[in-house]
Structure 1
Amino acid sequence: MGSPEFSWKLADHPRLPKGKTVAVVVLDGWGEANPHQYNCTRVADTPTVDSLKKGAPERWRLPRAHGTAVGLPTDDDTGNSEVGHNALGAGRIYAQGNFNHSSSSMTSFLQLLLEGASEHGAKRIHVHILTDGRDVLDRSSVRFVEIPENELSKLREKGIDAQIASGGGWMYVTMDRYENDWGVVKRGWDAQVLGEAPYKFQSALEAIKKLREDPKANDQYLPPFVIVDESGKAVGPIVDGDAVVTFNFRADQMFMIAKALEYENFDKVDRVRFPKIRYAGMLQYDGELKLPSHYLVSPPEIEKASGEYLVHNGIKTFACRFVL
């Protein structure tokens, strides 16, 4: 038998009356889990949310935001903003691939990129790191830097010039969104492309340990630093002829640096120089701008999204969002 004919018609809701105004409020990032000292929604005083949950429990839902519920391969896979927004907007489960396994990027992806570059004959591999401190515990940066350092040391044993070249906190260096603060991108560009930063060290571990001596230091906001050799020269600025991969898949916070890396005509920051590189992103960060033009993983192709159903049923909608 053939498949049933497609229809945009929506069935009547079993409880909500037709013709009435409905407000759907999504607390994006509100995570409820077992109480512990790092779960802010359990530790904090939340009278408004508590009253909403208790006053109208039939209108309060806790959708799962990870694993198979949002189209990830297994229930061990962590969700993120991109995955959650896709699932909510689609109105159903779409396979979203394990490249979305964590909120921004994964050290395992870097390991695979390093191995692939080595196997394909790369003789010079430089990694520009950004420390997290939000989706992982603050002060865990040393542990996370040790992982690529160990991988890079194995490549050096093969005669490859492989080392971390620069770094900084992701909220202060390179990554910004909605064109809010191009100064963040400028700091990243100076360190990663020009090899210039206010702090210089001979290893990334030394850099992070030293910068963390400041009692107010936070992994998210570590200042930019570059790694230099014995003569004080930056070991790995991006130069003409380089192949560059931004393996972070946080689209909203990568398209600004992607513009700087890809667009020859660009005036948001003074780049000083624009190296002729071959550039690819982990995925295409902006579908409308087709940016970047080269990417490693295709994004999920979502059609017949929930908003389209509302339009086809003559339902007027107003959507707004608040961004931190």
Structure 2
Amino acid sequence: MSAARPGILLVLDGWGHAEPGEANALTAADTPCLDRLLGTPLAVLAEASGTAVGLLPGTVGNSEIGHIVIGAGRPVPYDSVLVEERISSGALRSDETLSAALTGAARTGGSLHLIGLSSDGMIHANVHHLRELLHIAALFAVPEVRIHAITDGRDVADGTAATYLETVEGYAAEAGIGTIATVTGRGYALDKSGDLSLTERAARAIADGAGHLIGEPKDALATTGRGEEWVEPSVVTGGDGAPVGPVRDGDVVLFTNFRSDRIQQLADHLHRELAARGVTFLSLAQYDTAAAIPALVHRADAGGGLAARLAEMGLRSVRIAEAEKFEHVTYYLNGREAAVAPVEEHIRISDATPPDYRARPEMSIGQVTEAVTSAARRDDVPLVVANLANIDVVGHTGDHAATVRAAEHTDRAVEALCRVASETGRWVLLVGDHGNAEKMLTESGGVRRPYGGHTTNPVPAVLVPAEGQRVGRPQGAATLADIAPSVLSLLGVGPAPAMTGRALW
């Protein structure tokens, strides 16, 4: 165990590692501080995807599981894995909650509405789960299945929505049931900024059939000039010109995303509007909604990690992030524990006007840096934890030039925080939570497209020790599960019993 010192844990969201190349925005950026740190003997590459963190083999990492594993100190089976297990074993077909809802719909002539992201980015959803759900609906002789497709353009390459809509239609044809009723971009349906006007537009299309009227699902893709994330809420009509699938009294609504945070605003809104009309609500995986929506697949335990150990030892921590990533350094890092522990302080940096990330790639990193600096100068705070969101959030736009600038803003912030750490006798541990900006292009069918999704690449982890602090070099392979044990070791505390990771320094 290293000599105990206070420290700063910086999660550089979307900071992945790949060799320099045309697609790599990180190596194209002028980042002298990060380059210098990555060249030290205390830098290591850590696995942040696939089975190393609790995902299916070959699955890209994401911010949610990344922060969960950083905090848990062990791989945690992700919701997508648990859903796949229920499907492959056939257990979903005999799920009592689902069976009761579909039996009721078949008896009363109600429809099943499937609402979720129609892509296979494996960050929030997997369109292939629709295949099993449609077959289950056919087994229960549900009269109609209405599919409310949410286009992506963020977790997968822009320009691919038409292919995913074809996939959905193919699954419906195979099952002999299912019609796409609405098509809406995730910018509306999966808003996380708190802009309820966006959610309202998505909800009205789904619930009431009120929106841009189209004859075929693909017609919706012509409604945006900002990419498929912003497809206007569109309603498919039948031969009579009427919407084919608004939600009726007594219908069943099933949300098919396995990740909660982006879908829950829409889920709560629809529940408020429709529950009183006898509509049954279900979610494929467990959500953090205000409404009590029964889940078909429940979560794995992610507790007993860093937060629990800090609380046990009475060690105060301050958690700081912009609104985009605030839950990640609080709720997810704490093993999905919503309550704020007495030894924790949470600082959410909010922007009154959601920025255009392409035009303003610095986001609010200046305010984050100020908040970290203030917390680091306090003697009563052994640990400051912050998320620097720029690389990931701007990377998701697919704009290479803007992402280069985001990386440069991040580099300057890291340099400033390392100076503060030096002045206050603190160590700094920097780590990525998943890859993103190191791969900004993708190729399919010989066509190269901008790419704003995540990757399976490893992420850097590097320690900047406090002055005079003696630490060893990291040895052997590393994963995100090693971060919490490392933080505790640097604080002079042993790992929690539930941790399987090891201290790297």
Structure 1 length as normaliser, TM-score?
Answer: 0.80
Report what 1:81 is aligned to: 63
5+ residue gaps, structure 2, are 85-120, 325-505
CA distance in structure 2 between the partners assigned to 1:33 and 1:116 by the alignment: 42
Judge conservation of contact 2:131–2:172 (CA < 8 Å) in 1.
no
Mapped partners of 1:262, 1:207: distance in 2 = 25
- Report if aligned partners of 1:281, 1:292 keep a CA contact under 8 Å in 2: no
> Aligned partners of 2:234 and 2:22: how far apart in 1?
32
Higher relative contact order (CA 8 A, sep 6+): 2
Alignment partners' CA distance in 1, 2:12 and 2:182: 36
Q: How many angstroms does 1:30 deviate by?
A: 2.1
1:238-271 deviations in Å (ceiling 9; x for gaps): 11111111111231112212212334xxxxxxx5
Judged with a 3 Å threshold, the aligned counterparts in structure 2 of structure 1 residues 278 and 37 are, in CA distance, closer, same or farther, namely farther
Total equivalences in the alignment: 286
**Residue 157 (structure 2) pairs with residue 175 (structure 1):** no
In the alignment, which residue of structure 1 is the partner of 2:199? 185
Of the structure 1 ranges 272-281 and 311-320, higher mean CA displacement relative to structure 2 is found in 272-281
Counterpart for residue 228 of structure 1: 237
Higher strand share: 2
Render the CA deviation track for 1:181-222: whole Å, top value 9, x for unaligned. Answer: 11121011111001011x2111112322x336xxx3301111
- 1:206 aligns to what? 219
1:72 aligns with 2:55: yes
Choose from 248, 271, 275 the match for 1:239.
Answer: 248
Structure 1 residue aligned with 2:284: 282
Q: Tell me: CA distance 1:188–1:29, structure 2 relative to 1, closer, same or farther (3 Å).
A: same
Cα distance in 2 for residues equivalent to 1:39 and 1:233? 48
Pair 1:166-2:185 in alignment: no
Q: Are residues 207 and 293 of structure 1, via their aligned partners in 2, closer, same or farther at CA, if it must alter by over 3 Å?
A: closer
Equivalent residue in structure 1 for 2:261, among 249, 252, 263: 252
- Superposed CA RMSD in Å reads 2.4
CA distance, structure 2, for counterparts of residue 118 and residue 241 of structure 1: 18
Question: What is the SS of the residue equivalent to 2:10?
Answer: coil
Report the Cα offset of residue 281 of structure 1: 1.1
2:137 alignment counterpart: 117
* Separation in 2, partners of 1:205, 1:292: 34
Kindly provide the amino acid, as one letter, of the partner of residue 88 in structure 1. I
Q: Is the 8 A contact 1:129 1:166 kept in 2?
A: yes
The residue type equivalent to 1:113 in the other structure is L
* 8 A contact 2:259–2:285 mirrored in 1: no
Instruction: Return the alpha-carbon distance in structure 1 between the equivalents of residues 248 and 19 of structure 2.
Output: 48
Distance 1:35 1:115 in 2: 45
Show CA shifts across 1:119-158 (max 9, x none). 1111201100111111111111111111001122334xx4
Matched, 1:293 2:293: yes
Cα offsets for 1:65-96 (capped at 9, x unmatched): 2111112243x123222211211121222233
**What's 1:136 paired with?**
156
Question: Percent identity of the aligned residues?
Answer: 28
CA distance in 1, matches of 2:317, 2:49: 27
SS of residue paired to 2:316: coil
One-letter amino acid of the structure 1 residue matched with residue 26 of structure 2: T
Q: Would the aligned equivalents of 1:211 and 1:217 in 2 still touch at CA under 8 Å?
A: no
TM-score (norm 2): 0.53
Q: Deviations over 1:10-37 (max 9, x none)?
A: xx33xxx31x221110112222235554
Report if aligned partners of 1:280, 1:292 keep a CA contact under 8 Å in 2: no
Whether the 8 Å contact between 1:282 and 1:297 is mirrored in structure 2 is: yes
Alpha-carbon distance in structure 2 between the residues aligned to 1:190 and 1:262: 12
Distance 2:318 2:143 in 1: 54
Question: 1:188, 1:317 → 2: CA distance?
Answer: 39
Amino acid at match of 1:279: F
Check the 8 A contact 2:60/2:122 in 1, yes or no.
Answer: yes
SS in 1 for 2:186: coil
Match of 1:121, SS state, is: coil
Q: Decide whether aligned partners of structure 1 residues 114 and 39 sit closer, same or farther in structure 2, where only a CA change above 3 A counts.
A: farther
Choose between structure 1 and 2: higher helix proportion.
2
C-alpha distance in 2, partners of 1:49/1:276?
A: 56
Partner residue, 1:154 = 174
2:25 is aligned to: 40
SS of equivalent residue, structure 1 residue 134: coil
